[in-house]
Structure 1
């Protein structure tokens, strides 16, 4: 199976992220989801076959499922520039046209369960991003109610968890409140639809931008296995990490490598890890009826 690790299109490069190559089309952007995968802020040498196609299809599904809650930047992949037509067949399932916005410099994280960095922080402070939590919670415990735990969005290095108050200082109190309320509503929608398919949405992150008219818009991706933690409901129990349908499988493998300090360059991935990630992403898409 082939993988697409990079693109070189005849348009100005707007940004190259860890996974997506973004090209400037004027008042719109062309986003190409490659098969790159990152963990601990490092891009792995090997890509995951079909990953870009899966991410694009899953994001499109969630943009459609949440557009009544908040507008999004998705504009489909129909009005392609003529110069791109020769590559349309190769890129069509992994590339989309989106509205250009002014991205806000924060990530909007919602947690419904205690895992990842939230679990580590809870163990030392009994809180997550300044949100106090009850004593006695275990790893993977369901929280009394979902909590909003924002983070900074860094171009280089690690994103940093911050309090809601710090977020309000960055973007303004009114906008911070809108972002919190929208993020919680989006998480609720995602969790409800996932539960119908035997999946728990443990946590996820959203990104937002402002249009030229000042409208708040959901951007980047939404509820994909790259940006979310999905667990199998029938295998969930407090006290241990349940089997997941996201890239936690990759993180768990990397945590076993005493020889890697989580700094670039990232280590090469065995074929069974590559295929394990691919299988989990395809499984998640299939449970939502998303054809890839």
Structure 2
């Protein structure tokens, strides 16, 4: 993992594949500084080189979506972890000051279309995470209804594990599992409608939730970004273009496709070519422009 920068007034406590987390150097540790780097990951590896301005684009996307879900889209406000405090100048534009949450160890995945790992599982079993789907679906097909397919967030260094809803109930309890499912589906439907109005398809996404100091279920981490979601061009999808094709996506699929074609997933991943890096940056930027208008 890359070395995190020093930020006056903040103490670095953790680096993930993409984000660096800080706590206040002095005073109560009731909030976090979440800094998005330009690092890009795929298949659980951080790749090289980084994607220029990716951290700023991810932060802008999350900020915009948090604003929409707080009521700007006309829907009921959904609690999120932002404090409204201005980030330090050293990381302006690529950081958020957030309430510290007690995170729930369930990754809340919602799928509206059949693709990715869901497509592979469907081919084998006709279901995804225990949710039985109609026979005869193809890669990229829209599902009859969005489905909630949770994953268990494994300890650092281990792979997350797709689980059934019943397993989620065992981990967090029936009431909380139902709340996570219902809220995730509600957010997905709102976001999908917003994306569709802008010529985009939100194929799937993942959310993370925690409880704040008052016990309120709160949306945290990033939300509806190119790293946590699959976005497709609606016109290309309707014309029959394979949605997972590079030129019809606004997410990490560009990187995944190149890596899958040029690496056997053993040893160290190869460096990304200049054109893949540039194209990924351009697609991330285009998504933000199309969403914000």
Q: Fold conserved (TM > 0.5)? A: yes
Superposed displacement of residue 213, structure 1: 1.6
Q: Secondary structure in 2 aligned to 1:135?
A: coil
Please state if 1:72 is matched with 2:70: no
Structure 2 unaligned segments of length 5 or more: list them.
71-75
CA distance in 1, matches of 2:273, 2:241: 29
Moved over 6 A (4+): none
Q: Quickly say closer, same or farther: Cα 1:6–1:49, change in 2 above 3 A.
A: farther
Say which is worse superposed, 11-20 or 26-35, in terms of deviation.
11-20
CA distance in 1, matches of 2:119, 2:215: 36
Q: Secondary structure in 2 aligned to 1:22?
A: strand
Please state if 1:145 is matched with 2:145: yes
Superposed displacement of residue 5, structure 1: 7.5
Q: Quickly say closer, same or farther: Cα 1:76–1:265, change in 2 above 3 A.
A: farther
Aligned to 1:134: 134
CA distance in 1, matches of 2:220, 2:233: 27
1:46 to 34, 44, 49: 49
Q: Secondary structure in 2 aligned to 1:14?
A: strand
Provide the TM-score with structure 1 as the length reference.
0.91
Please list, as runs of the form range in 1=range in 2, the aligned pairs for 1:266-285 lying within 5 A after superposition: 266-285=269-288
Q: Secondary structure in 2 aligned to 1:145?
A: strand
Q: Secondary structure in 1 aligned to 2:59?
A: helix
Q: Secondary structure in 2 aligned to 1:236?
A: helix
Aligned to 1:22: 21
Post-superposition CA distance 1:113-149 (Å, at most 9, x none): 0000000000000000000000000000000000000
Aligned to 1:94: 94
Please state if 1:245 is matched with 2:247: no
Structure 1 unaligned segments of length 5 or more: list them.
none
Q: Secondary structure in 1 aligned to 2:97?
A: strand
Q: Quickly say closer, same or farther: Cα 1:132–1:232, change in 2 above 3 A.
A: same
Please state if 1:197 is matched with 2:202: no
Q: Secondary structure in 1 aligned to 2:292?
A: coil
Q: Secondary structure in 1 aligned to 2:162?
A: coil
CA distance in 2, matches of 1:120, 1:8: 43
Aligned to 2:170: 169
2:236 and 2:243 in contact (8 A); partners too: no
Provide the TM-score with structure 2 as the length reference.
0.90
1:36 and 1:43 in contact (8 A); partners too: yes
Please state if 1:227 is matched with 2:228: yes
Please state if 1:287 is matched with 2:290: yes
Aligned to 2:73: none
Please state if 1:106 is matched with 2:114: no
CA distance in 2, matches of 1:73, 1:9: 21
CA distance in 2, matches of 1:263, 1:197: 40
Aligned to 2:213: 212
The alignment's C-alpha RMSD in Å is: 1.7
Please state if 1:254 is matched with 2:262: no
CA distance in 2, matches of 1:267, 1:170: 37
Superposed displacement of residue 69, structure 1: 4.1
Superposed displacement of residue 74, structure 1: 1.2
